[in-house]
Structure 1
Amino acid sequence: MKRKTIKFCLYYFLFCIASTAMAYSLPDSAIDYDIEVRINPTTRVLEGRSVITFNRTREQTLILGAQFEVTQARINGQPFDPETDQSHMWQIPVAMLRPHQIEIHWRGELHPLDETLDHEQTLNRPIAVSAVSGETGTYLPNASYWYPRVMHGLVHYTVQIELPSGQRGLVAGRLVEEEETDSGYRARFEFTHPAEGIDLMAGPYEITTDSVTGIKGELIQLRTYFHPEISQLADDYLESVKRYFKLYESWIGAYPFTEFSIVSSPTPTGFGMPTLTYLGINVLQLPFIRDTSLGHEVLHNWWGNAVYPDYQSGNWSEGLTTFMADYTYKELESDDAAREMRLSWLRDFAALEPGQDSPLAAFTSRTHGASKIVGYNKSAMLFFMLRDLVGEEMFNRSLKGLWAMQRFKVTAWPHLQKAFEMISAQNLQPFFDQWLNRTGAPNLTITDVRQEQADTGYRLNITLTQDEPPYQLRVPVAVQTATGEETHILDLKQSGQSFALDINGKAQSVVLDPDVRLFRQLAPDEAPPILREVMVNPTTVTFLLPDTDATQQIAATLAEKLQRRAPRIIAANQPIPATPTLIIGLQHEVDAWLSAKNLPSRPEAVNDKGSAQAWTLTGPDGGSLAIVSAQDAASLEAIIRPLPHYGRQSYIVFNGRQAVDRGVWPIKVQRVAVE
């Protein structure tokens, strides 16, 4: 035990030295902002004053959104008239004094808040119109250039927000002071760590406060900024946050900030910033959010908002957060729940067409379904396989070491690799190279199994094959014997490789990766069709069965929402293609179409249930079919919003907008009988 402790300390010491050399340290107080901003949500007018202090002499580029005008500008107290190009970029001349300051006053009209947008529309809203305001909410994302934003370098800031009476606002950081009078509300925040930018939120919030003591004994302030209609949820959310702090402080290290807030949004957002998360009102009302998405956003205060991804070499933070949040909660629930989540990741990947994915190192942020499958799911599976490879103890030590050395530093995939290599004392280059830089996934097959009598029992010879170029994999196989089941790990490094296993009893069958511990291509029989296959596949075609214009328009809208693009519609009397196919209609139309195409009638899982149903089956030429059926036009319209969120299901039943039953058709493992 003593040798093991000394070994760990040595590797940790080496990691500290290497991290010092390889980490991208952030500028230390290079740029400081002091901003005062006044917003009137009724008129949507914003007026601001910003003093930017540069502690290093270099040419700077500033950008202010096109809807704003500069009313006054000074450099070191001297007036200047900034020249802008068509993109409203300013080249600020190099100042002769150090430090030097730029003072800018600006004003403009924000875009109107649109509460009809769904999550994807909110996520993909053009930057030019993303700064929005209304009486139910104001959201000014950093990317909208709502303030004169320095193009290069991270910043420290203080921000003072002034709003009309009844409104509350905040930015990421520590609340220094706040005051409410009959004339309005004022709050000042400061953020002393290097930050990528400033996001501002405001609304008619009711604020509830609490606190928790961190592992170092410091008091962490907790708040909810909730709209009045959900203010009764505040106490439960604050209690859930305390639970996540306890989990992640013990797993990673002390929480890096002094407070954390949950802020409600009038649109269905799901954003995380340092010290806060911004979630839609409808999202916060879902009963499972406190046990799922909330923990994910809390964890981002370690990975993403305190250890910064180097986006040029890939965003690792979403995958690590998914693994340590969403997946971990399934592990805490049960082994079966965790296995089902891993299987769902492989099912999602199987829904992609060849060429739809990209190398994990190329993932920066979620833009569509395929990017989430790679950047969240595949990345989370990488960390799961890495834990299997180095062992849970070394995996957790590596996380603590990574956190200790990389806080508030830009961190790339190679930094993670080096941390795990030094603390586990393993060469992980082949592992990271194949999972970060290759598209696709290994396609594994048991091609031959032979059994022979041995001196001490039986010997089993198993041949595994995979496509070229080969992956280096630790492949689990389960051998079923008359006396039980044995699990063996096979080190596969070639495109075809044979292994000899000594087993205790006579083998009856061999199962490949029965516990779904490898990211790989599922065999055709392993992957029952799910709804997502028609949602993410660009070759999907659509049959719209309704014969009235009004109902057909509803069906077309649903098809567009499911596929997030204009559907490719073909006539109902056309043959079923081999590509993924979506069929939408009323119940009598769907039943008649299935009969005319000689397809199985609706399965027992959805038959005579609910007001609308969706299910999948395999078409005559092997393509996936997703069938959506409703009892009337109103029932079809009711599922336009909820149905796109259930892509991982093989079938689902709705009563109105409420999902009342769902499931996935059973998986068939790769099992080879042994003679």
Structure 2
Amino acid sequence: MSSPGEPSVDSGAISVLRHEIQLAIDPTSHRMRGLDRVTIQVGRREVREFSVTLNKALVVAWVSSEGKLLPFYPRPLPPSAELDTRHAHQVVVRLDRPARAGETLIVDFDYAGEINDPPREPRHLRFVTPSETSGHIGPEGVYIGPETYWYPDVPNSLASYRVTATTPPGWEVIGQGGLVAHEARADATVATWDASACGFRSPEVSAEGRFDCPAEGLTLAAGKFVVVMRMSGNTEIATYFYPEDMELADEYLAAAAAYLDAYSRVLGPYPFPRFSIGENFFASGLGMPSYALLGAGSIRRHYTQPYALGHEIVHSWIGNHVFNDNGGNWAEGLTTYLANYYWHELKGDPQKAREERRMMLLSYAVYVPPDQDYPVVQFKRKSDQRDNAIGYNKAAMVFHMLRREIGDDRFFAALRTLVAEYGGRRIGWRELEALFTRVSSRDLRAFFARWIERAGAADVKAEADPDYHVFRRIPRRDLPPMLNLFVTDPRRVVVTPSLDSAAAPYRELAERVAKQEGVGLRSASEVGAAGQDLRDASVLLLGGPNAGSAYAWAKRGLPPGVDLRPDGFRVGGKDYQGSGMALLLSFRNPDDPTHVVSVFYGLSPEAVKPVARLLFFYGWNSYLVFENGAVIKRGDEPPLPAEGAPAGARSERHLRNIRQLTHGRQNAEAYFSFDGRSLIFQSTRDGRGCYQQYVMGLDGRDARMVSTGRGTTTCGYFLPGDRRVLFSSTHAKSPECPPKPSAQGRYLWSLDDYDIYTAT
């Protein structure tokens, strides 16, 4: 979690060292009341007044210091890309005397109001960010964090926190640090969380006279939870789950204990006295100092994998104990490397480790077009999948290459040094470079300049890196067909089946997808058997055989051995039947294999519904088979022949300089433009029975028909200047295809049927 950025006014005037908060929460009325005793340190110059940020909906009753009331007034926040000027403003406090540079003050704030911003519909197909709500207090649950501005603070503070929260009886609060007091009364539950003391003391922080475990902000969650707690070494671990999910507690506690034990060996002692896993009332995957907050849907899907719970636990060291500075976010990349990837090495599974490296490269290949790339150092937070591919996956691969560059011993020694020396502090890429340089005794300037400060990937052939140890760009045509190729295609069309009750889950999915920019929506009844509007796009075809003529068009591209029927389907060499079965299948567009068709088909509405909600989490395979919403089988189809690969067998070395430009239909007689950048060729690619003339670039993209689509054509050429083309056609005599004579080795078309035409 990151605190908001700093405004231009009051820059450096004060810093906040500590909050001691008394908090009362009333979920029914969406209200809270806070009494915050704030420890403030004056900056490098004398201060007569200072400002803090606070939610506009929270009304300040009084401010005092040393028993004296202080005057205060609100004012708008200055314009900022970081601060939420819609929900927050400044509260300016006038001191009763000038405060000296470096002086420490204690100021009390009493404030109350309503926090009521229910989580909204996700903007993304694949993930929900905390910005979907700025904070909410309600009967369904409580979530208040730094983006709520629910306590008086200054931007970019690193403070310690102690909060005593009072909630209705039967409610429990999840906070940061350790649970130091808890009282379940008949009229209320009172819990005190102290986030000022680490599980171990950092000599660097203590030497500076600061609190042991400062944090970038304070997030609280609350709900009607059942709490289950156990010890893991010297660390308390606990689950805060809804009653209907409490039987999952043991699974999560065991997984958390395993992660804490493993990463304590890698990174050093766990920094906090407790780790909690909370069940959130909206979809989320958030890691705060000493706890993770996961949506109820994630909890019920057994979200204990290394990329899930493991990732949030590693954040306890990286990101929530050692912090990013404002110059860039390195913590997500390192956390992704250690949790999502390195866990498989720790468990002795080289195949899964290799697959994780491959997936990191696939993410970059799919979501980062070369013209939209940017350097890792510019990544600050994830707002889309491009950011995820660069800031998480590319950065993770950079740490992998750094480890291979300096060796395991020095790499992991540097990580332990990082945690020991920088716990409770902010650090940037330059400090990381200096640390790895110092520990490894290697000059790493060229490495960091190449991989952190510049965009792009290595120019390495797959044959030279078969195990994906180098961060390189996999050409799009080398990717197997998958749903994510639909997601990232500039031309996308969603086709829905006919209007009946069984089609309802498909339509709900289609409406959600159609909200994304650049997506067209078609009913199957609008699409003919020739696939109008689908030939030059990637298509999400919902309903399989129920999509009528649209499916009849698409199934021409089905991989061999695949069959979809009203009562079942066959894929991966196996038949599947039963009302709980569903299939997500991707293959090449039959008319243009640079695009894909993804078919989502369930044998009943009940099979469709649980998968439809999460469909875009399954974007990396050519096919996935679901039973009652759970994946039971997955696999991939081969990619297109790679550019530069032989047109025939791969063993034919003499053909390795040949690149295939057209696919899937008969094509013949192609000629270059005068500038050598385009081709004119004749083809039956649009399902026509006779040849038409097409023009396309040498990359195989943007093919367009320049003839009339009637009769047959031949002998297409570019005219000088490349703006017009010349060809022969029979369309004036007859719009039908002329009969093909028996050639018997000779060219026997009737020349009397052809006339010569030009086109642009």
Q: How does 1:575-654 map to 2 (within 5 A)?
A: 575-576=533-534, 578=536, 581-590=538-547, 592-596=549-553, 599-601=556-558, 604=561, 607=564, 608=569, 609=576, 611-619=581-589, 620-631=591-602, 634=605, 635-654=607-626
**Deviation of residue 546 (structure 1)?**
2.4
Q: Which residue of 2 aligns with 1:527?
A: 479
Q: What amino acid sits opposite 2:371 in the alignment?
A: G
User: Whose RCO is larger (CA < 8 A, sep 6+)?
Assistant: 1
**Deviation of residue 200 (structure 1)?**
0.8
The 2-side partners of 1:599 and 1:231 are apart by: 49
Q: Kindly indicate whether the alpha-carbon contact (under 8 Å) linking 1:370 and 1:536 is maintained by their aligned counterparts in 2.
A: no
The 2-side partners of 1:578 and 1:374 are apart by: 29
Q: Which residue of 1 aligns with 2:136?
A: 132
5+ residue gaps, structure 2, are 1-11, 78-84, 197-212, 570-575, 655-760
The 2-side partners of 1:632 and 1:78 are apart by: 70
- Alpha carbons of structure 1 residues 348 and 83: separation in structure 2 relative to 1, 3 Å: closer
Q: Kindly indicate whether the alpha-carbon contact (under 8 Å) linking 1:616 and 1:624 is maintained by their aligned counterparts in 2.
A: no
The 2-side partners of 1:605 and 1:615 are apart by: 10
| Secondary structure in structure 2 of the residue aligned to 1:314 | coil
Q: Which residue of 2 aligns with 1:368?
A: 384
Q: What amino acid sits opposite 2:327 in the alignment?
A: S
Q: What amino acid sits opposite 1:78 in the alignment?
A: L
The 2-side partners of 1:55 and 1:574 are apart by: 69
The 2-side partners of 1:232 and 1:584 are apart by: 38
Say which is worse superposed, 67-76 or 390-399, in terms of deviation.
Answer: 67-76
5+ residue gaps, structure 1, are 1-25, 214-218, 446-476, 478-510
Q: How does 1:307-456 map to 2 (within 5 A)?
A: 307-310=322-325, 312-331=326-345, 332-352=347-367, 353-445=369-461
| Secondary structure in structure 2 of the residue aligned to 1:439 | coil
The 2-side partners of 1:27 and 1:80 are apart by: 18
Q: Kindly indicate whether the alpha-carbon contact (under 8 Å) linking 2:62 and 2:69 is maintained by their aligned counterparts in 1.
A: no
Q: What amino acid sits opposite 2:27 in the alignment?
A: P
- Alpha carbons of structure 1 residues 125 and 246: separation in structure 2 relative to 1, 3 Å: closer
Q: Kindly indicate whether the alpha-carbon contact (under 8 Å) linking 1:61 and 1:152 is maintained by their aligned counterparts in 2.
A: no
The 2-side partners of 1:606 and 1:430 are apart by: 53
RMSD over aligned Cα atoms: 3.1
Give deviations 1:378-416, integer Å, cap 9, x for gaps.
Answer: 111111111111111221112122222211110111122
Q: Kindly indicate whether the alpha-carbon contact (under 8 Å) linking 1:41 and 1:138 is maintained by their aligned counterparts in 2.
A: yes
- Alpha carbons of structure 1 residues 335 and 593: separation in structure 2 relative to 1, 3 Å: same
Q: How does 1:255-270 map to 2 (within 5 A)?
A: 255-270=270-285
Give deviations 1:117-148, integer Å, cap 9, x for gaps.
Answer: 69879834647x52112333211111111222
**Deviation of residue 656 (structure 1)?**
4.7
Give deviations 1:434-480, integer Å, cap 9, x for gaps.
Answer: 211222323334xxxxxxxxxxxxxxxxxxxxxxxxxxxxxxx8xxx
**Deviation of residue 333 (structure 1)?**
5.0
**Deviation of residue 46 (structure 1)?**
0.8
**Deviation of residue 251 (structure 1)?**
1.1
Q: What amino acid sits opposite 1:247 in the alignment?
A: A
The 2-side partners of 1:636 and 1:361 are apart by: 42
**Deviation of residue 512 (structure 1)?**
2.2
- Alpha carbons of structure 1 residues 199 and 565: separation in structure 2 relative to 1, 3 Å: same
**Deviation of residue 550 (structure 1)?**
7.5
Task: Pick from 44, 49, 63 the counterpart of residue 53 of structure 2.
Answer: 63
The 1-side partners of 2:555 and 2:181 are apart by: 70
Question: Is the counterpart of residue 53 in structure 1 residue 39 in structure 2?
Answer: yes
Give deviations 1:246-294, integer Å, cap 9, x for gaps.
Answer: 2111111111122211111122211111111111222122235255422
Task: Pick from 202, 215, 221 the counterpart of residue 201 of structure 1.
Answer: 221
Give deviations 1:271-329, integer Å, cap 9, x for gaps.
Answer: 1111111112221222352554222111111100110011x322111111111111122
The 1-side partners of 2:372 and 2:447 are apart by: 23
**Deviation of residue 605 (structure 1)?**
5.7
Q: Kindly indicate whether the alpha-carbon contact (under 8 Å) linking 1:544 and 1:552 is maintained by their aligned counterparts in 2.
A: no
The 2-side partners of 1:29 and 1:196 are apart by: 12
Q: Which residue of 1 aligns with 2:173?
A: 169
Q: Kindly indicate whether the alpha-carbon contact (under 8 Å) linking 2:357 and 2:469 is maintained by their aligned counterparts in 1.
A: yes
- Alpha carbons of structure 1 residues 561 and 648: separation in structure 2 relative to 1, 3 Å: farther
- Alpha carbons of structure 1 residues 403 and 291: separation in structure 2 relative to 1, 3 Å: closer
Task: Pick from 527, 539, 544 the counterpart of residue 495 of structure 2.
Answer: 544
Give deviations 1:596-651, integer Å, cap 9, x for gaps.
Answer: 36832365467414643222223343423132232578354443212111111221
- Alpha carbons of structure 1 residues 397 and 228: separation in structure 2 relative to 1, 3 Å: same
| Secondary structure in structure 1 of the residue aligned to 2:459 | coil
- Alpha carbons of structure 1 residues 411 and 42: separation in structure 2 relative to 1, 3 Å: same
Q: Kindly indicate whether the alpha-carbon contact (under 8 Å) linking 2:225 and 2:240 is maintained by their aligned counterparts in 1.
A: yes
| Secondary structure in structure 1 of the residue aligned to 2:600 | strand
- Alpha carbons of structure 1 residues 578 and 70: separation in structure 2 relative to 1, 3 Å: same
Q: What amino acid sits opposite 2:358 in the alignment?
A: L
The 1-side partners of 2:471 and 2:408 are apart by: 18
Q: What amino acid sits opposite 1:111 in the alignment?
A: N
Q: Kindly indicate whether the alpha-carbon contact (under 8 Å) linking 1:642 and 1:657 is maintained by their aligned counterparts in 2.
A: no
The 1-side partners of 2:378 and 2:508 are apart by: 32
Q: Kindly indicate whether the alpha-carbon contact (under 8 Å) linking 2:582 and 2:600 is maintained by their aligned counterparts in 1.
A: yes
Question: Is the counterpart of residue 158 in structure 1 residue 174 in structure 2?
Answer: no
The 2-side partners of 1:152 and 1:628 are apart by: 48
Question: Is the counterpart of residue 90 in structure 1 residue 61 in structure 2?
Answer: no
**Deviation of residue 588 (structure 1)?**
2.1
Aligned length: 577
- Alpha carbons of structure 1 residues 673 and 273: separation in structure 2 relative to 1, 3 Å: farther
| Secondary structure in structure 1 of the residue aligned to 2:557 | coil
The 2-side partners of 1:435 and 1:165 are apart by: 54
Give deviations 1:347-386, integer Å, cap 9, x for gaps.
Answer: 2222133333332111112212221111111111111111
- Alpha carbons of structure 1 residues 438 and 307: separation in structure 2 relative to 1, 3 Å: same
The two structures have a TM-score, normalised by structure 2, of 0.70
- Alpha carbons of structure 1 residues 121 and 35: separation in structure 2 relative to 1, 3 Å: farther
Task: Pick from 184, 189, 202 the counterpart of residue 188 of structure 2.
Answer: 184
Q: What amino acid sits opposite 2:181 in the alignment?
A: E
- Alpha carbons of structure 1 residues 302 and 603: separation in structure 2 relative to 1, 3 Å: farther
**Which structure has the greater CA radius of gyration?**
2
- Alpha carbons of structure 1 residues 119 and 526: separation in structure 2 relative to 1, 3 Å: closer
Q: How does 1:230-269 map to 2 (within 5 A)?
A: 230-269=245-284
- Alpha carbons of structure 1 residues 672 and 433: separation in structure 2 relative to 1, 3 Å: farther
The 1-side partners of 2:317 and 2:563 are apart by: 43
The 2-side partners of 1:107 and 1:559 are apart by: 43
Q: Which residue of 1 aligns with 2:317?
A: 302
**Deviation of residue 592 (structure 1)?**
3.5
The 1-side partners of 2:585 and 2:351 are apart by: 23
The 2-side partners of 1:135 and 1:322 are apart by: 35
The two structures have a TM-score, normalised by structure 1, of 0.78
Question: Is the counterpart of residue 39 in structure 1 residue 41 in structure 2?
Answer: no
Q: Which residue of 1 aligns with 2:146?
A: 142
| Secondary structure in structure 2 of the residue aligned to 1:402 | helix
Q: Which residue of 2 aligns with 1:488?
A: none
Say which is worse superposed, 70-79 or 368-377, in terms of deviation.
Answer: 70-79
Identity of aligned residues (%): 27
Q: Kindly indicate whether the alpha-carbon contact (under 8 Å) linking 2:14 and 2:50 is maintained by their aligned counterparts in 1.
A: no
The 2-side partners of 1:42 and 1:433 are apart by: 54
- Alpha carbons of structure 1 residues 117 and 203: separation in structure 2 relative to 1, 3 Å: farther
